[in-house]
A and B are shown apart, each in its own frame.
Chain A
Amino acid sequence: MRAMVYRGPYKVRVEDKDVPAVEHPNDAIVRVTLAAICGSDLHLYHGLMPDTRIGHTFGHEFIGVVEQVGSSVEDLQVGDRVMVPFNISCGSCWFCARGLYSNCHNVNPNATAVGGIYGYSHTTGGYDGGQAQYVRVPFADVGPVRIPDWMHDEDAVLLTDAAATGYFGAQLGDIVEGDTVVVLGAGPVGLIAAQSSWLMGAGRVIVVDHLQERLAKARSMAYAETLDYDEYDDIVVELKKQTDFLGADVVIDAVGAEADGNLLQHVAGAKLKLQGGSPVALNWAIDGVRKGGTVSVVGAYGPIPNAVKFGDALNKGLTLRMNQTPVKRQWPRMFEHVRNGHLTPREMVTHRFPLEHVAEAYHVFSAKLDGCIKPLILPDAA
């Protein structure tokens, strides 16, 4: 089969690989029909995630058709069209039993601090991902769901991570009616977080970024006010002015480890890898939220320590809430919202690349060329 392959920082290409095999009785092999590059894939692409091995196939956002099932699979059948949560979860450990599917303890021998994720280095279990023609899907009776007939494929693929994470991020903010919510980052996760904040009763939603096309999308897709941080000497001061010097009730960090906005942090974190990513957005969240407010973190950070302003979080009495998204828990409600048009994930898709052009796709998305907000990967395109 053809598969995207990591060759080192800033280097990916397409290679021939063996079609994955069933390795456990509850495995399924899925033929991928549509995949996406996630912003967090860029952390791998830039070499920020420890134990990212040469030859690894990325991709944790994908949908496809069941090609083969293991002997203990009861629910899925060959030929089913499925969407697969980015989390690999067993459904039976202490954590899964309590709904924390993203924190499963039975799928990642390499680390206890993170669950299993498709195509996301050996730190998350060493599973090849879905930017390929085929992928191994463990615990086929737990994760995958048949795609509803009415659902658009592009919505389905985005629900496997980006959209679910945006929706989850808004929930972590514990938004109450009338709250002012600031979303840092107008990428795929931030856009859905902004849409979701309204569903949870926000009275005001402000999205912060510096890329004009993304800010325009936040206005048109999420009805948000927008702030271009480049226009202000200090965005934290502007956030205070915007909120009558209170600070926002809730700030959602939808940026993560490669935040820009501070040269020293960006170079030390994202370029020279002297810390586990650049915590600029997280620090803006801590400074920009009001005292007693809530910071929701759904931007991804690596396991290496970061220079985070923890003292301010303490002194302000903040609630910090975060996790990888337990995707499947979000789906029943999100399906309703997508069907009703309250959440519109596929509005964010700007680029569609054949798998053979995956290197170009990574470069364009990484450098944010051509107004790229969300690139999809078409495994079977010529």
Chain B
Amino acid sequence: MTDPDIPSAYVRDKRTPPPTREELRARIPGWGADLDPADRPSHPKLQYPADTGAHWDFPERQPERQPRERSVEHAFVTPVFGTAQPLRGLSGVVRRFAYERFSEGRLAHWVLLVAGDRIDAWGSHLRSFATLRPDVPATGVRGELAHGGLRSRRGRSDARHHLIDPVVVAGPWVAGAAVTYTGVRRVVRALRR
């Protein structure tokens, strides 16, 4: 008999047996309803559904109205695809290069796509400044007032991380504004001379 103070990990069996089925069923609604691992919806991992609803061997192809970018790991553009926000502008060039040149297995593929995202975002921000609805560094912040921003964060350890948000979000905007201001001032001064 081993010393009962020695924890379960160092002996053959768990020191504390789990509660009985009766105890668990009394306490937990539905306890054990899926007890048999072989009778769960995702067992086995590969299983042939009786009917998926598909009434085709290979789906009819959706018309490709403009060249659709695709992963080079695909044999072709899939028969169905999303048509939202087609590639355009400089971000489109970067993204298309990422798709055409690098497989999903290459970090460059993803880094280029992220770069495309940032180019897309900043291009859109700049264009928005010429509209009646310019972008702002962050949206929805009135929720801070309506939904207790300070109260909600009191005592939370992640509140200190939230302090980083304004720097990450607004930092590039502040830097951009500073560069713009400095540049414009230099141009104005140069013109005055």
Q: Which residues of A contact B (CB under 8 A)?
A: 7-13, 23-26, 47, 50-57, 72, 74-75, 88-92, 96-101, 105-113, 116, 122-123, 125-128, 138-139, 141-143, 168, 171-172, 174-178, 180, 196, 198-201, 203-204, 210-211, 223, 230, 243-247, 260, 263, 266-267, 271-273, 276, 290, 303-305, 326, 329-330, 332-334, 337, 340-343, 359-364, 367-372
A210 contacts across to B, CB distance below 8 A: 156-158
Q: Which residues of B contact A (CB under 8 A)?
A: 7-10, 14-19, 21, 24, 27-35, 37, 40-43, 45-49, 52-60, 62-63, 68-71, 73-74, 77-85, 91, 95, 99, 104, 107, 110-111, 113-114, 116-117, 120-125, 128, 133, 135-144, 146-149, 152-153, 156-158, 160-162, 164-165, 168-169
- Beyond A50-B113, A92-B54, whether A359 also contacts B60 by CB under 8 A is no
Question: Of the candidates A260, A329, A337, which one forms a contact with B157 in the assembled complex, judged by CB atoms under 8 Å apart?
Answer: A260
B85 contacts across to A, CB distance below 8 A: 53-56, 122, 126
Provide 5 A-B residue pairs closer than 8 Å at the C-beta atoms, listed in order of the A residue: A116-B82, A122-B85, A127-B82, A200-B35, A360-B140
A363 contacts across to B, CB distance below 8 A: 138-141, 143-144
B113 contacts across to A, CB distance below 8 A: 50-51, 123
For the complex, what is the distance from the CA of A18 to the CA of B74, rounded to whole Å? 30
A326 contacts across to B, CB distance below 8 A: 42
For the complex, what is the distance from the CA of A75 to the CA of B81, rounded to whole Å? 21
Q: Which residue of chain B has the shortest Cβ distance to A49 in the bound complex?
A: B117
Q: Across the interface, do B59 and A106 meet the contact criterion of CB distance under 8 Å?
A: yes
Q: Which residue of chain A has the shortest Cβ distance to B57 in the bound complex?
A: A92
Closest 3 CB pairs of A and B: A203-B18, A342-B30, A363-B140
B117 contacts across to A, CB distance below 8 A: 47, 50-53
Q: Which residue of chain B has the shortest Cβ distance to A367 in the bound complex?
A: B162
Q: Across the interface, do A244 and B16 meet the contact criterion of CB distance under 8 Å?
A: yes
Question: Of the candidates A54, A101, A260, which one forms a contact with B158 in the assembled complex, judged by CB atoms under 8 Å apart?
Answer: A260
For the complex, what is the distance from the CA of A55 to the CA of B21, rounded to whole Å? 53
Q: Across the interface, do B104 and A113 meet the contact criterion of CB distance under 8 Å?
A: yes
For the complex, what is the distance from the CA of A53 to the CA of B122, rounded to whole Å? 11
For the complex, what is the distance from the CA of A119 to the CA of B30, rounded to whole Å? 34
- Beyond A244-B9, A260-B161, whether A97 also contacts B62 by CB under 8 A is no
The smallest C-beta distance from A287 to any residue of chain B, in angstroms, reads 14
For the complex, what is the distance from the CA of A245 to the CA of B5, rounded to whole Å? 12
**Given A90-B59, A198-B30, 6 additional A-B pairs, CB 8 A:** A13-B133, A126-B81, A246-B9, A340-B29, A368-B152, A371-B152
The smallest C-beta distance from A175 to any residue of chain B, in angstroms, reads 8
A304 contacts across to B, CB distance below 8 A: 107, 110-111, 114
Q: Across the interface, do B46 and A112 meet the contact criterion of CB distance under 8 Å?
A: no
A141 contacts across to B, CB distance below 8 A: 53-55
For the complex, what is the distance from the CA of A88 to the CA of B111, rounded to whole Å? 26
Q: Which residue of chain B has the shortest Cβ distance to A228 in the bound complex?
A: B157
Q: Across the interface, do A369 and B140 meet the contact criterion of CB distance under 8 Å?
A: no
Q: Across the interface, do A97 and B139 meet the contact criterion of CB distance under 8 Å?
A: no
Q: Across the interface, do A25 and B147 meet the contact criterion of CB distance under 8 Å?
A: no
For the complex, what is the distance from the CA of A286 to the CA of B62, rounded to whole Å? 43
The smallest C-beta distance from A44 to any residue of chain B, in angstroms, reads 10
The smallest C-beta distance from A256 to any residue of chain B, in angstroms, reads 15
Q: Across the interface, do A333 and B34 meet the contact criterion of CB distance under 8 Å?
A: yes
Q: Across the interface, do B120 and A53 meet the contact criterion of CB distance under 8 Å?
A: yes
Q: Across the interface, do B41 and A370 meet the contact criterion of CB distance under 8 Å?
A: no
The smallest C-beta distance from B175 to any residue of chain A, in angstroms, reads 15
- Beyond A54-B120, A178-B18, whether A75 also contacts B168 by CB under 8 A is no
Q: Which residue of chain A has the shortest Cβ distance to B122 in the bound complex?
A: A8
- Beyond A260-B157, A273-B114, A332-B41, whether A24 also contacts B80 by CB under 8 A is yes
Q: Across the interface, do A106 and B135 meet the contact criterion of CB distance under 8 Å?
A: no
- Beyond A122-B85, A127-B84, whether A330 also contacts B41 by CB under 8 A is yes
For the complex, what is the distance from the CA of A126 to the CA of B73, rounded to whole Å? 17
Q: Which residue of chain B has the shortest Cβ distance to A368 in the bound complex?
A: B152
